[in-house]
Amino acid sequence: MQNLTTLGEFIIKNQQDFPYAKGELTRLFNAITLASKVMNSQINKAGLVDDLMGKVGTENVQGEEQKKLDVYANKVFINALKARNEVCGIASEEEEETIIFENEAGKNGKYIVLIDPIDGSSNIEVNVSIGTVFAIYRRVSPIGTAAVLEDFLQKGRAQVAAGYVIFGSSTMLVFTTGNGVNGFTYDPSVGVFYLSHTNIQIPEKGTIYSVNEGNYAYFSESMKSFIDYCKFVDTSTNRPYTGRYIGSMIADLHRNFLKGGIYMYPDSIKSPNGKLRLLYECNPMAFLIEQAGGKATNGKQAILDIKPREIHERTPFYGGSSKMVSQLEMMLTNTL
């Protein structure tokens, strides 16, 4: 067997990357990896177990119908994080209000976690990749008190760590603590994540664009012109590009991390602020993208510089290879 580095060993070796007290990062990531392992085993048998397939019959705060796996994953991640005593509050796509841990341990917790427990829910039933995405912040309110809204409404730039788990043909955890991006592949036979992708760098240029083109008619003229640009024949710039859209942001962006490309969820007549949520979808992915040398924007400013106003706010999102995102930004501003 090769000399493989486990996630645990990697975190211990890189504790100094996390400029806070020793052991906190380890405990936070222990919670996330434990929950991910539980989810991995459940997702793998989702087609067999009635309790995990289908809809719950309720809607989340965004008016989207909740799948049983959304609700289950939400509980698994919240329970795992609560048990580690590092976290004073959690915001989740599946919870209307923030969850504040008001017990002694919670009040002393230094971190806030924002999470989308299952991203790409529409893909659960058709056995296509889904994921979990999370952002971690230091609280701004005093330790020893209950967390407040301000702790959650920090700019993405203030993140101390972020990551995603992709449940694909293999399960991977990809994360950053602000010192590059590393990927770990799960070996279910041993129950361990191994370092498999060191210092991931998004290629500066790419040839893949991904967007829900079914919404073309609803997009702005400038957005339409960028899509037309992607399809235009110009061999000197490798166009036409290849179109790929999985419908799971994490999976589409994971491909960009490894191969280059641009992922877009624009604003449109149908969704004036786009669809994706700033705090627990766009911010963690933008932090990872910038850490991997790419770019993430809402078309006007870097995602990480947006000052959030509310927990579930949405934003247009464009992220991936820096040259492709810059080209898009130029076309969005020129034709406005």
Convert residues 111-140 into a mask of x (bound to Mg ion by CB under 5 A) and - (unbound): -----x--x---------------------
The nearest distance, CB 131 to ligand AHM, in angstroms, is 8
Dihedral angle at the C-alpha atoms of 307, 313, 315, 319, nearest 10 degrees? 80
The β-bridge relationship of strands 262-265 and 208-210 is: parallel
Nearer to ligand AHM, 133 or 331 (CB): 133
Nearer to ligand AHM, 180 or 247 (CB): 247
Instruction: Please choose, from the candidates 280, 265, 253, the residue with its C-alpha nearest in 3D space to the C-alpha of residue 159.
Output: 280
Structure tokens at 15: 């504790």
How many whole angstroms separate alpha carbon 319 and alpha carbon 266? 11
Return the amino acid letter for 203.
Answer: P
Query: Judged by CB under 6 A, how many residues of this single chain contact ligand AHM?
Result: 12
In the block, tokens 């829900």 appear at 212
* Residue 290 near Mg ion by CB under 5 A: no
Residues linked to residue 162 through DSSP beta bridges, in sequence order = 135, 176
* Residue 86 near Mg ion by CB under 5 A: no
- When binding is defined by CB under 6 A, the residue of 24, 86, 94, 119 that contacts ligand AHM is 119
The nearest distance, CB 296 to ligand AHM, in angstroms, is 14
Give the one entry of Mg ion, ligand AHM, none that residue 135 binds, where binding means its C-beta sits below a cut-off of 5 to 8 angstroms depending on kind.
none
Nearer to ligand AHM, 295 or 314 (CB): 314
Contact 192, 59 (CB under 8 A): no
* Residue 247 near ligand AHM by CB under 6 A: yes
Alpha helices by DSSP H, listed for 5-101, are: 7-13, 24-44, 68-83
* Residue 8 near ligand AHM by CB under 6 A: no
* Residue 267 near ligand AHM by CB under 6 A: no
* Residue 95 near ligand AHM by CB under 6 A: no
Nearer to ligand AHM, 136 or 285 (CB): 285
Taking the CA atoms of the chain, what radius of gyration do you get in angstroms?
19
Q: How far is CA 173 from CA 64, 77, 131, 146, 262, in A?
A: 26, 14, 10, 30, 21
The nearest distance, CB 121 to ligand AHM, in angstroms, is 4
* Residue 32 near ligand AHM by CB under 6 A: no
How many whole angstroms separate alpha carbon 191 and alpha carbon 209? 35
- When binding is defined by CB under 6 A, the residue of 82, 254, 275, 295 that contacts ligand AHM is 275
The nearest distance, CB 249 to ligand AHM, in angstroms, is 3
Nearer to ligand AHM, 88 or 303 (CB): 303
Q: How far is CA 144 from CA 74, 140, 141, 250, in A?
A: 26, 12, 9, 35
Nearer to ligand AHM, 139 or 254 (CB): 254
* Residue 120 near ligand AHM by CB under 6 A: yes
How many whole angstroms separate alpha carbon 24 and alpha carbon 33? 14
Nearer to Mg ion, 119 or 267 (CB): 119
**Binding interface with ligand AHM (CB under 6 A):** 64, 93, 116, 119-121, 212, 247-249, 265, 275
